[in-house]
C-alpha cells in the first residue's frame, strides 16, 4: 500500500501542465531562479559607483552655479543708504547680467559695479550720464551737454555739493556718470574716488528686490 501511494503522488499532474515534458518544467523553474539572481544584482550596486555618481551630480551643480553667477545673475545685499528712498540698508536684490548682452546701459538704470581701484568693493548707483556726453552740476541741477536733465526725478533732495562735476566732466566712449538717489549722502562719480565708471566694471543691472518680502518687486523702470 505504501509503495502505491507514493507512485500515485508522483504521477499526479497539476492543472494546466498536462502533456508537458518534465524537462520543460525544470527549464522554467531554472529560468525563474536565474532572473531572481539578476534582479538582486541590479539592486545591489557597488558602493564606489554610488560615490562616483554623487560626485558627478556635485560637479554638474557646481558648473551650473558658475554659469549662472558668471553670465546670468547674482544675489546682492544693499549696504548703506546712498540709494534711499528706492533702496534701504539690508535689502536683498537679484542683479541680472542678461540685459546688457542685448542692449547698452540706459540712462537711469540702477546698476551694481566694482570700483576700479578697489577690486572686490561694489557700489550700487543710478546711471546719469552716458558715453560721449558732458556732465556738469550747477546750483543743484544736473546738466547734460549744457541742457538741464529735467527727467531726473530720482534725487531725493537738491544737490548740495558738485565736487569734480562743478566743471565739465567729459565721458569717454565707454564711460558712465553715476549717482546715488540720496544725492547728499552718496559717494559716486562726482568724487575722484569713484570717478567715471567703465562698462567693464559693471556687475549687472539691479532687477528684483526679494527681501524684505513686503517690498518684493522689480527695481528698474
CATH code for the domain of 92: 2.10.109.10
The C-alpha cell that represents 5 in the structure block: 501511494
Looking at the DSSP bridge assignments, the partners of residue 169 are: 135
Give the distance, in angstroms, between the CA of residue 49 and the centroid of all CA atoms in the same chain.
31
Q: Is residue 167 part of a domain?
A: yes
pLDDT, position 47: 77
pLDDT, position 42: 54
Please name the helix (run of DSSP H) or strand (run of DSSP E) that holds residue 114, with its range, or none. Answer: strand 110-114
> Are residues 98 and 134 part of one domain?
yes
The residues annotated as belonging to the active site are: 82, 125
Grouping H, G, I as helix, E, B as strand and the rest as coil, residue 125 is: strand
> Are residues 94 and 196 part of one domain?
yes
> Are residues 173 and 132 part of one domain?
yes
| Per-residue pLDDT tens over the stretch 64-87 | 666 665 556 688 888 899 999 999
Q: Where in the sequence is the domain holding 38, given as residue range(s)? A: 23-71
Please give the Cα distance from 75 to 205 (Å, whole number).
11
Low-confidence stretches of the chain (pLDDT < 50) are 1-14, 17, 20, 23-38
> Are residues 113 and 87 part of one domain?
yes
| Per-residue pLDDT tens over the stretch 190-213 | 999 999 999 999 999 998 898 898
> pTM for this structure?
0.70
Amino acid at each position: 500500500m505504501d509503495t502505491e501511494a507514493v507512485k500515485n503522488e508522483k504521477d499526479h499532474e497539476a492543472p494546466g501542465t498536462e502533456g508537458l515534458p518534465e524537462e520543460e518544467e525544470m527549464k522554467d523553474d531554472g529560468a525563474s531562479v536565474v532572473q531572481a539572481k539578476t534582479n538582486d544584482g541590479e539592486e545591489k550596486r557597488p558602493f564606489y559607483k554610488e560615490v562616483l555618481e554623487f560626485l558627478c551630480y556635485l560637479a554638474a551643480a557646481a558648473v551650473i552655479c558658475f554659469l549662472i553667477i558668471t553670465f546670468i545673475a547674482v544675489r546682492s545685499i544693499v549696504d548703506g543708504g546712498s540709494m534711499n528712498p528706492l533702496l534701504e540698508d539690508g535689502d536683498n536684490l537679484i542683479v541680472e547680467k542678461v540685459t546688457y548682452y542685448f542692449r547698452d546701459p540706459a540712462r537711469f538704470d540702477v546698476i551694481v559695479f566694482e570700483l576700479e581701484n578697489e577690486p572686490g568693493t561694489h557700489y550700487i548707483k543710478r546711471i546719469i550720464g552716458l558715453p560721449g556726453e558732458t556732465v556738469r552740476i550747477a546750483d543743484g541741477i544736473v546738466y547734460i551737454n549744457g541742457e538741464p536733465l529735467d527727467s531726473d526725478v530720482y534725487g531725493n533732495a537738491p544737490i548740495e555739493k558738485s565736487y569734480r562735476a562743478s566743471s565739465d566732466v567729459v565721458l569717454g566712449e565707454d564711460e558712465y556718470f553715476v549717482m546715488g538717489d540720496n544725492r547728499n549722502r552718496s559717494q559716486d562719480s562726482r568724487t575722484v574716488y569713484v570717478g567715471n565708471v567703465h562698462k567693464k566694471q559693471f556687475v549687472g543691472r539691479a532687477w528684483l528686490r526679494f527681501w524684505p518680502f513686503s517690498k518684493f518687486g522689480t527695481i528698474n523702470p
